[in-house]
Amino acid sequence: MTYLVTGGTGFIGSRVVRDLVQSGEDVVVYDWAPAAAALAGLLSPEEINDHVTLVGGDVTDFPLLARTLKDNDVAKVIHLASLMYLDVNANPLRGVRVNCEGTVNVFEAARLLGLEKVVWESSGSVFGPPEKYAEEFIPNDAAHYPQNLYGAAKSFDERAAAYYRERHGTDITALRLVMVYGPGMKRGRTARIIQELVYNPALGRAGKPPAAADNLFGWTHVDDAAGATVAASRVTRPAEAAYSVSGELATIGQLADYVRELVPGAELSLLPPEKAGGGSIMTCKYDMTAFDRDIGYRPRRTLRDGLRKTMNAVRAEAGLAPLD
């Protein structure tokens, strides 16, 4: 079977491609600027040559996207190409085009060509602050109260996906991946936190993450984000249109403690609540009952294991010995 993965040489996308190829699938990578080097560290040259096709393309280019799907006899799409929060802020017009028009292009192409499955990445940003919800863990089907344009675009995409599911029967599933971390992060708010809190100590540098010690998040290692995405692509017409996927809960302070266990004496400066946006951020507490029931993927890495793997990858790239 052939998959097309938009954003397939990105942070999550490259791991999705790896997992698909290693499970016997062929993959067309459709990316704005395909970076073959991103796959070189994850797959052998033979795996890439035999099972991966790189296509340079923009998801806003509907004719090229549709032609690529048809010419390569693609059966399933995993749509990960998206501008992130900071990118959308910097260029709102481009952000809406890529994140809304580009995503609807994927849905429309899937409808026209009768594809078997589309899995795409939504975001926990579709939800609002915790005071909007009576429950401690935000229900999977909770109302959307996006607080920024990025979240609003993803909320629109969820409504568009529901339209295609209900009106045309297109099998589309969204995953709201939350606080994905790991080696190789370069863009986004999460990357800024991880670079300061994890990468810097791994390299013996001081870190000052832009978050307060009591900020609480659900941390998902990138390998588990990829695993959940591939698992969702193999479930036919699950009950829900979108699923929240959150990893192990921990505050920034707890994460800092784990880092200090791995690197004794690590210099980490955490912001007080008043300097980090007004106190605890609890919106990453999501009810995953529906995901567990319908998709059933279980994470492979604890937070401690994921941090060690991440830090050792950063150290290896810098020519340093692994942590004990």
Provide the residue ranges of all domains of the chain, joining segments of one domain with +: 2-176+222-245, 181-217+248-285+295-317
For residue 205, the surrounding DSSP H or E stretch is none
What is the predicted pLDDT for the residue at 273?
66
Name the token pair of 155: 């909320």
The residues facing 76 across adjacent strands are 3, 117
Copy the structure tokens of residue 93.
Answer: 């017009």
Hey, which bits of 161-225 come out as E strands? Answer: 172-177, 180-181, 216-221
Q: What angle do CA 174, 209, 222 make, to 5 degrees?
A: 35
Looking at residue 129, its pLDDT comes to 86
With a cut of 90, say whether residue 178 has pLDDT above it: no
pLDDT band at 190 (very low <50, low <70, confident <90, very high): confident
To the question of domain 2-176+222-245 being in CATH 3.40.50.720, the answer is yes
How do 248-251 and 52-56 pair as beta strands? Answer: unpaired
313 or 130: whose pLDDT is higher?
Answer: 313
User: Given a cut of 50, is residue 282 above it in pLDDT?
Assistant: no
Does the structure show a pLDDT above 60 at 230? yes
pLDDT confidence tier of residue 278, bands split at 50, 70 and 90: very low
- What is the percentage of the chain residues whose pLDDT exceeds 70? 97
Q: Is the pLDDT of residue 284 over 80?
A: no
Would the pLDDT of 244 be above 70?
A: yes
What angle do the packed helices 303-317 and 252-262 form, to 10 degrees? 60
Residue 74 pLDDT > 60: yes
pLDDT tens per residue, range 35-56: 889 999 899 999 999 999 999 9
Residue of 9, 11, 28 lying closest to 77 (CA atoms): 28
The predicted pLDDT at position 279 comes to: 41
Does residue 87 surpass a pLDDT of 50? yes
β-sheet bridge partners, residue 78: 5, 119
**Phi, psi of 193, deg, nearest 5:** -65, -50
Strand partners, 176: 244
Look at residue 143 in the predicted model and tell me its pLDDT. 97
Cα–Cα distance between 184 and 26 in angstroms, integer?
24
- The token duo for 192 is 């800024």
Over 70: is that where the pLDDT of 276 sits? no
Q: Is the pTM of this model over 0.85?
A: yes
Structure-block tokens of residue 137: 């863990």
Spatial distance between the Cα atoms of 205 and 292, rounded to a whole number of angstroms = 39
Residue with the larger pLDDT of the pair 131 and 322: 322
| Average pLDDT, integer, range 121-147 | 93
A 10 A CB-CB count for 319 gives 6
In words, the CATH class of domain 181-217+248-285+295-317 is alpha beta
Q: Do domains 2-176+222-245 and 181-217+248-285+295-317 have the same CATH topology?
A: no
Neighbours of 256 (CB within 10 A): 22
Q: What is the pLDDT of residue 210?
A: 86
- Per-residue pLDDT band at 274 (split at 50, 70, 90): low
CA 244 – CA 265 distance, rounded (Å)? 36
Q: Looking at the predicted structure, is the pLDDT value of residue 280 above 80? A: no
Is pLDDT of 281 > 80?
no
Write down the H helix ranges in the chain.
13-22, 36-40, 45-51, 62-71, 85-90, 92-96, 102-113, 149-163, 189-194, 200-202, 222-233, 252-262, 289-294, 303-317
DSSP string for residues in 74-95: --EEEE-----HHHHHH-HHHH
> How much of the chain, in percent, has pLDDT values that exceed 90?
84
Average pLDDT over residues 63-88: 96
Mean residue pLDDT of the chain comes to 93
Dihedrals φ, ψ of 133, to 5°? Answer: -125, 140
The encoded tokens of residue 233 equal: 């692509």
Give yes or no for residue 275 having a pLDDT over 60: no
- Structure confidence at residue 186 as a pLDDT band (50, 70, 90): confident
Yes or no: say if 40 and 253 are a contact pair by the CB < 8 Å rule: no
- SS3 category, 299: coil
